[in-house]
């Protein structure tokens, strides 16, 4: 364990340093333990960077948490799901959902563009027809002007003067129309900006300033997590103490000598009766009543239950504070974004208003210029003056109309081309959207899949192992995964729990439900081992560490130990078991045996 990377090891009391070297697959891994100031520190280059999952499901020593969880009757689901970073999964789900929502908005926009495309194409066709008609009209007007010029006896100077005058009018009107178009655009922009400003102001007014600081909440959360870690350690220690003392009171591992064993027949009968119920305490060495030990154990159980309730209360408070912190951070980000945008909009409003005022002045000046130019053109005296003037005006109007239609057509061509190009991306966007949807399903079902895999694995292997070990009257051990209302601090929540069921059979074949408290020590150890194997397989631990280590199997008889080992070695590349010589004898001869280790 130490060489592979676990920190759940210690130095012998008389040693200040110890080391381990492992050669595996052509690589060498080293680990050194040193005692400094009463503490053991680790250094070197172990096989695993993070041994947490291996400690749970691969290093199956006596104090292994998966094995002990069965013995203590704890919620097995908590042990199986411990390696899963549910907070990270939730963050991945949120990020994936945001990206998918963005893609959905883009796809919906593309669908809108596609629906609008026929109207744009129809509008472009109409504009093309309108352009052709305007050009035809201009051609007719110019022909009429040519005929009129041919029949007139005016000097070429007057004709040239008239043409130049109308060209000036035409140019001035074109500039005037451009100013008016720009003004209309700026006024529309101003209206949109003012509307956005009002909406942002209203939204900011409706958004309350968060009560509390994320940094302060982070400090509170860190403090609570430290308290929770301390409670976790205390609960684990209490569990070990309770389990150890429970085994001691049941006579598992230590022979309890009654202090009455030395009382002779001539001693006080009352003292003998009292002594029969007294035992030597294995912790302090004094003589105590067995009821006192039971009472102490009950107090320890009550204390552990209180600590569990405290831990649940702290976890509920951590969850509440974390949720509140996230809400405050989201609100602050939203307010900051709105304030930045509001400031930008106000600046844009001022700039737009300035451009509008400037355009209004330019339009007034240009209108005066157009009126003066028209007056100049009208003052030029030519033959057929009125008819020529009217034809020139019409030609001028048609020229401007043709320019405007040409600009509109150019804009339509660009817009249609851009939409057609954008629509070519829709297929790839939809494919990516499907990938994100599949990813969301995978993330949402990942926890369920691991739970289901672990339960199915445990039930299948437990059925096979029980058949191999042939326990008398033990018919079946299986896990049921179900939702249960539990109290989490001050509230009730729905949690998934793994409920362990034991079915026994009487001599006449009648089956009945039993509890884990009634499992023999051997049955309990086998159940814990199979549960750890289920975790090893559900989390695919073999991909990271191809080892399973077994120790403290003495509660199981030697023949059954051999069957358990032969069964386990099917599921890992390397199985290492620490056995007493008598327990190793039933194993087949093809196993590698290492003797003489201390």
Q: What's residue 547's pLDDT?
A: 92
Residues 136-168 as b/e (b if ≥16 CB within 10 A, e otherwise) read ebbeebeebbeeebeeeebeeeebebbeebbeb
Q: What's residue 148's pLDDT?
A: 66
Q: What's residue 251's pLDDT?
A: 53
Based on its alpha-carbon atoms, the radius of gyration of the chain, rounded to whole angstroms, reads: 44
Q: What's residue 271's pLDDT?
A: 46
Inter-helix orientation angle 385-423/290-379, to 10° = 160
Most confident of 102-106, 213-217, 543-547: 543-547
8 A C-beta contact, residue 419 and residue 411:
no
CA angle (453 as vertex; 550, 498 as ends), nearest 5: 80
Q: What is the DSSP-derived secondary structure letter of residue 258?
A: B
Per-residue pLDDT tens for 471-528? Answer: 888 888 888 888 877 666 566 667 778 888 888 888 777 888 887 778 888 888 898 8
Q: What's residue 254's pLDDT?
A: 40
Q: Return mean pLDDT, the chain.
A: 81
Per-residue pLDDT tens for 9-62? Answer: 878 878 889 999 999 889 999 999 998 887 888 999 999 988 888 999 999 998
Distance CA 258, CA 280 (A): 7
Per-residue pLDDT, averaged over 329-333, amounts to 82
3-state secondary structure 312-369: HHHHHHHHHHHHHHHHHHHHHHHHHHHHHHHHHHHHHHHHHHHHHHHHHHHHHHHHHH
Q: What's residue 506's pLDDT?
A: 81
Give residue 487's region: left, alpha or beta (phi > 0; psi -120 to 50).
beta
Asked if pLDDT for residue 211 goes beyond 80, the answer is no
């Amino acid at each position: 364990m130490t060489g592979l990377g676990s920190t759940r090891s210690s130095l012998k009391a008389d040693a200040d340093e110890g080391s381990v070297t492992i050669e595996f697959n052509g690589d060498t891994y080293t680990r050194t333990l040193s005692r400094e100031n009463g503490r053991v520190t680790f250094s070197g280059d172990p096989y695993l960077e993070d041994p947490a999952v291996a400690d749970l499901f691969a290093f199956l020593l006596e104090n292994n948490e998966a094995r002990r969880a069965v013995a203590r009757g704890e919620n097995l689901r908590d042990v199986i799901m411990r390696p899963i970073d549910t907070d990270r999964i939730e963050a991945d789900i949120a990020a994936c959902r945001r990206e998918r929502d963005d893609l959905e908005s883009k796809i919906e926009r593309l669908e809108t563009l596609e629906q609008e495309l026929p109207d744009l194409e129809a509008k472009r066709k109409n504009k093309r027809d309108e352009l052709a008609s305007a050009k035809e009209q201009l051609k007719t007007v110019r022909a009429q002007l040519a005929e009129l010029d041919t029949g007139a006896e005016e000097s070429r100077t007057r004709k040239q003067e008239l043409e130049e005058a109308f060209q000036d009018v035409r140019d001035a009107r074109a500039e005037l129309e451009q100013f008016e178009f720009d003004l209309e655009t700026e006024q529309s922009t101003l209206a949109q900006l003012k509307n956005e400003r009002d909406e942002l102001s209203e939204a900011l007014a409706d958004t309350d300033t968060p009560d509390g600081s994320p940094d302060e909440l982070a400090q509170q959360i860190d403090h609570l997590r430290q308290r929770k870690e301390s409670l976790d350690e205390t609960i684990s220690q209490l569990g070990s103490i309770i389990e150890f003392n429970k085994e001691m009171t049941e006579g598992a591992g230590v022979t309890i000598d009654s202090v009455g064993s030395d009382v002779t027949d001539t001693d006080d009968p009352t003292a003998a009766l009292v002594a029969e119920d007294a035992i030597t305490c294995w912790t302090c060495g004094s003589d105590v009543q067995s009821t006192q030990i039971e009472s102490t154990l009950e107090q320890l159980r009550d204390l552990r239950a209180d600590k569990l309730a405290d831990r649940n209360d702290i976890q509920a408070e951590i969850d509440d504070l974390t949720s509140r912190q996230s809400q405050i951070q989201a609100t602050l980000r939203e307010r900051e974004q709105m304030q930045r945008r509001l400031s930008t909009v106000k600046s844009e409003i001022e700039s737009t208003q300035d451009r509008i005022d400037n355009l209004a002045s330019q339009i007034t000046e240009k209108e005066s210029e157009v009126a003066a130019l028209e007056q100049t053109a009208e003052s030029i005296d030519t033959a057929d003056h009125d008819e020529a003037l009217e034809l020139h005006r019409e030609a001028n109007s048609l020229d401007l109309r043709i320019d405007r239609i040409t600009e509109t057509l150019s804009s339509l061509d660009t817009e249609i081309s851009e939409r057609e190009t954008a629509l070519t991306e829709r297929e790839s966007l939809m494919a990516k959207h499907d990938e994100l949807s599949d990813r969301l399903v995978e993330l949402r079902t990942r926890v369920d899949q691991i739970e289901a895999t672990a339960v199915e694995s445990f039930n299948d292997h437990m059925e096979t192992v029980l058949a191999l070990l042939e326990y008398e009257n033990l018919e079946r051990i299986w896990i049921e995964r179900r939702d249960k209302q539990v109290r989490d601090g001050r509230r009730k929540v729905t949690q998934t729990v793994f409920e362990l069921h034991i079915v026994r059979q009487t001599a006449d074949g009648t089956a009945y439900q039993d509890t884990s408290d009634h499992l023999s020590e051997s049955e309990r150890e086998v159940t814990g081992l199979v549960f750890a194997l289920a975790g090893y397989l559900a989390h695919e631990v073999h991909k990271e560490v191809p080892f399973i280590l077994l120790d403290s199997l003495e509660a199981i008889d030697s023949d059954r130990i051999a069957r358990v080992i032969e069964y386990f070695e099917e599921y890992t590349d390397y199985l290492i078991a620490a056995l007493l010589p008598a327990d190793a004898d039933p194993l087949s001869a093809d196993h590698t045996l290492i003797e003489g280790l201390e």
